[in-house]
Chains A and B, each alone.
Chain A
Amino acid sequence: MSVLIRNARVLDPASGTDKVLDVCLQNGEIHNIGEDIGQCPDAEIIDASGHWLIPGAIDLGSWLRAPGLDHKATLASETAAAAASGVTTLCYQPEPGAGVDNSAQVNLIQDLSDTQGLANVQVIGNITRGLEGKQLSNMGSLKKSGCVAVTNGWQPYASLAVMRTAMEYATTHDLTVFVYPLEHALANKGCVHEGEVSTRLGLPAIPAAAETVAVAQTLSLIELTGTRVHFCRLSAAGSVRLIRQAKQSGLPVTADVAAHQLFLTETDLMDFNPLCHVMPPLRAGADRLALLEGLADDSIDAICSDHQPHEADAKMAPFQQTEPGIAGLETLLPLTMRLVEDGVLNRLQALNKITYQPARIIGSHAGRITPDIPADLVLFNPDELWTFSQENMRSQGKNSPFANWSFQGKVTRTFLAGQPVYTHLPS
């Protein structure tokens, strides 16, 4: 099947393209791009005048829950949500119990998502067995079965010695290590940022230093081991500063931030709003500004959804008893584009943070609009104004604090390897 997309404003951050062009999709790949391209045999023609054509977004962190936590979400529900939100690649975040220790489990997850065919699912494997932080997982076979990175998630390592050897062994297999920086002793079972709001609400708190201490420690281990490390979900101003310095001194590090951290702060959880209970916690206004600055100067490479769908009951309890996390998949692209409205990034910079940069971090060819790569593309109507609501969420988890936020610009079509996986019917 062929598709000819005509008169789309092609926005490709990798090449810096921002131009009205025609794009021909053939055999699942981008075949040809240009002004008035003639050749696209037997193609369905889509007139995309007034629309943008952008690479499908790549999300570095989605807690897809399945297999095992199907009451929260399934690969079917979450890849459908991805397709409708312009996300074509999801990085599967392993959780304790999911058992991503060996190739069999990786294959199972890939098979489950291939059956749906609504989004690419790339698996991040366990770096230690069962994420227990004690014994190394079979990283050699994880790499062979297609894992794009390894991580210990939010689980602690038994010791820095284990972390060191895990990093060295991952490097042996050319695997990037995803590090969630948190010093558990300092976090001390807290659930919100230590500051004015935690004091007022009387909630146990996590100081920003719980993150920065862990970033600093990890950076020292990178100096020792030479490991390629991706820092996940930065939340504190101090972490941005440390990563900036590390990049300046040439260490092989990258970093991401969850989209919600760029818009919400500790004050949003006043009145004990469990929808704002996240890990790392929403921090102070100054931290948010530092994260925006870090995005602008590329200290922070990527924005991700940190998508954590929950059943309603997981959030129906006193704050401390609720499970942390926001179902963020469907607000990843809208919030990222809002950074353009807010003057934080220009259009190509913003798209870069959710397409080409995350692709680079997981060593993927996707995230670009260039011939001979899979046609994972999104048509976007920049003029449509719409309001986000929990009722219209496609994710099985409705736990989003962004209900009633208005956004400009909406996904109208999503292509996965040239196949339409989502079409927005104008209401």
Chain B
Amino acid sequence: MHSHLKPGPLPLNMQLTPEGKLKHFLSTEGLPHLLLHEIMDRAEQFVTLPAKQQKKAPLLRGKTVMNLFFENSTRTRVTFEIAAQRLGADVTNLDIRTSSTAKGETLLDTVRNLEAMNADMFVVRHEHAGTAQFIARYCAPHISVLNAGDGRHAHPTQAMLDMFTIRQKKGDFAPLKVAIVGDVLHSRVARSQIHALTTLGTGEVRVIAPKTLIPAGLEKMGVNVFHNLDEGLQDLDVVIALRQQRERMDSALLPSEQEFFKLYGLTEERLKVTKEDAIVMHPGPMNRGVEIDSDVADGRRSVIMEQVTNGIAVRMAVMSMIMGSMAGGNA
């Protein structure tokens, strides 16, 4: 075993090269706000640049991106795939659940094998928190890791596409009041959004949910916790609904979908206490009639479809920044 392969901490600061460039993208926590803005600035370029011109600037030509999805998610995987392809990379999708690890191979062995197939970037989704950090810590030094969701820990590209969408609609973060509504306990998206929002200097970040869906000590992450939707929605500029997972209804966390919708579902009526120009976001896929009413999802405040479009631009931005740091490192 190599000496660098001893078990130990997985420091978040390995996201950045010694020069402060993005090496891995694992979490929105601990990154400088200028870097978060750089991601959004790049995404802006990709949004405005027509698709044809993008193909003339294939920043990832000759690179191999491997999508390592240990947990199912067609939608997220496809957006990463499109982003990588638009940048000219070769993309390989691996549905690991049905292959090696199911046969007892360790995660590290799987990673070693994929390294041997000349991968340059791993896009990783896994049911356990810290997996992307683990792979980043122990993979070959030339490989970059992009976290596409690890347990309840982080989903940084989702958070950044949300930030990008907010910035497009609202500009500066400082005067904004933003609330995240729903199952924060199980949500990696919410955690990454909170870190990004606080890093970007958002005026106030709130979370709104019953006590059963708020993890212990959440206020230490710099948010105000509300259990009453009407109070929490007051004067908001941005409302972010979280996906309410149906399987949670079977546990003792919530009595029923009906009661959840009655108490925490976003409807036009209840949104009247927000600012007139407040926007409503949702990371998808939506449960209409559980966390969000169709009138809201399809209504004037909704920016949900823009989020999806921005998802590709933000992922292109992150991938190109990482590859830029690699080129810089090699030069």
Check: A172 CB closer than 8 A to any chain B CB: no
Nearest-neighbour CB distance to chain B for A375, whole angstroms, equals 39
21 pairs from A and B in contact (CB 8 Å cutoff): A196-B216, A199-B218, A199-B220, A200-B221, A201-B130, A202-B154, A202-B188, A202-B191, A271-B12, A271-B133, A272-B10, A272-B129, A272-B134, A273-B10, A316-B138, A317-B106, A317-B108, A318-B128, A320-B130, A321-B107, A322-B7
Instruction: Return chain B residues, CB-CB under 8 Å to A271.
Output: 9-12, 133
Cβ of B215 < 8 Å from any Cβ of A? yes
Say whether B56 faces chain A, with CB atoms less than 8 Å apart.
no
Beta-carbon contacts of B126-168 to A below 8 Å, as 1s and 0s?
1011110110001000000000001111100000000000000
Are B218 and A202 in contact, with the CB atoms below 8 A?
no
CA distance A207 to B216 in the complex (A): 9
Cross-chain contact B128 with A319 (CB below 8 angstroms)? yes
Q: Give 6 new A-B contacts, CB below 8 A, not counting A203-B129, A203-B153, A275-B9.
A: A196-B216, A198-B215, A199-B215, A272-B134, A313-B106, A318-B150
Q: B220's contact among A196, A273, A390, A398, by CB below 8 Å, is which?
A: A196
Least Cβ distance of A246 to chain B in Å?
A: 27
Which parts of A264-315 form the interface with B (CB within 8 Å)? 270-275, 312-313, 315
Whole-angstrom CA separation of A390 from B107 in the bound complex: 24
A370 contacts chain B at the CB level, 8 A cutoff: no
User: Does A195 count as interface, using CB distance less than 8 angstroms?
Assistant: yes
Chain B's nearest CB lies how many Å from the CB of A152? 27
Residues of B within 8 A of A (CB): 1, 5-12, 29, 106-108, 126, 128-131, 133-134, 138, 150-154, 188, 191, 215-218, 220-221
In the complex formed, the residue of B with least CB distance to A200 is B221
Asked whether B107 lies within 8 Å of A272 as measured between CB atoms, the reply is no
Most chain A Cβ neighbours within 10 Å, of B9, B11, B220:
B9
Query: Given contacts A199-B216, A199-B221, A390-B6, is CB(A318)–CB(B154) below 8 Å?
Result: no
What B residues does A318 contact at CB under 8 A? 107, 126, 128-131, 134, 150
A122-180: which have CB < 8 Å to B? none
Most B CB contacts (10 A, CB to CB) among A270, A275, A312, A318 go to: A318
| Cβ contacts under 8 Å, B107 to chain A | 317-318, 321
**A254 contacts partner chain B, Cβ-Cβ < 8 Å:** no
Residues in B whose Cβ lies below 8 Å from that of A319: 128-130, 134
Q: Could you tell me which A residues sit within 8 Å of B by CB distance?
A: 194-196, 198-205, 207, 270-275, 312-313, 315-322, 390, 398-399
A194–B217 alpha-carbon span in the complex (Å): 9
Distance of A309 from chain B, by nearest CB (Å): 13
Which of B8, B12, B129 contacts A202 (CB under 8 A)? B129
Question: Which residues of B lie under 8 Å from residue A204 when comparing CB positions?
Answer: 152
Instruction: Using CB atoms, name the residue of chain A closest to B108.
Output: A316
Q: In the complex the two chains form, is A194's CB within 8 Å of B216's CB?
A: yes
Question: Closest 9 CB pairs between A and B?
Answer: A202-B152, A202-B153, A196-B217, A315-B7, A272-B130, A271-B9, A273-B9, A199-B215, A318-B131
Residue among B107, B126, B215 facing the most chain A CB atoms (10 A cut-off):
B215
A205 to B: closest C-beta gap in Å: 7
**Chain A residue contacts of B152, Cβ below 8 A:** 202-204
Inter-chain contact A201/B10, CB cutoff 8 Å: no
Residue of B nearest to A273 (CB): B9
Residues on B with C-beta less than 8 A from A203 are: 129-130, 151-153
User: Shortest CB–CB separation between residue A201 and chain B, in angstroms?
Assistant: 6
Which residues in A have their C-beta under 8 angstroms from that of B131? 318
Please name all residues of chain B whose beta carbon is closer than 8 Å to the beta carbon of A398 when the two chains form the complex.
Answer: 6
Contact of B7 among A199, A207, A316 (CB under 8 A): A316
Shortest distance from the beta carbon of B307 to any chain A beta carbon, whole Å: 22
What distance in Å separates the Cβ of B212 from its nearest Cβ neighbour in chain A?
Answer: 13
Scoring A195, A315, A316, A320 by chain B CB atoms within 10 A of each residue's CB, the highest score goes to A316
Tell me which residues across on chain A come within 8 A of B108, comparing CB atoms: 316-317
> How far is B217's CA from A316's CA once the two chains are assembled, in angstroms?
29
> For residue B216, which residues in chain A have a CB less than 8 angstroms away from its CB?
194-196, 198-199, 205, 207
Chain B nearest CB from A255 CB (Å) reads 26
A25 to chain B, nearest CB (A): 41
Which B residues are CB-close (under 8 A) to A196?
216-217, 220
Shortest Cβ distance from A403 into B: residue: B8
Question: Complex: how many Å from CA A245 to CA B153?
Answer: 39
Chain B residues with Cβ below 8 Å from A198 are 215-216
Residue among A199, A274, A317, A399 facing the most chain B CB atoms (10 A cut-off):
A199
Known: A201-B153, A318-B126, A319-B130. A274 touches B7 (CB 8 A): yes
A315 to B107, CA, bound (A): 12
The CA-CA distance from A251 to B191 in the complex, in Å, is 46
Set of chain B residues within 8 Å of A205, measured between Cβ atoms: 215-216
Instruction: Name the one of B1, B6, B7, B129 contacting A320, with C-beta atoms under 8 angstroms.
Output: B129
User: B residues within 8 A CB of A320?
Assistant: 128-130, 151
Are A317 and B6 in contact (CB-based, < 8 A)?
no
Q: How far is the CA of A292 from the CA of B191 in the complex (A)?
A: 34
Given the complex of chains A and B, what is the CA–CA distance between A93 and B10 in angstroms? Answer: 31
What is the distance, in angstroms, from B197's C-beta to the closest C-beta of chain A? 15
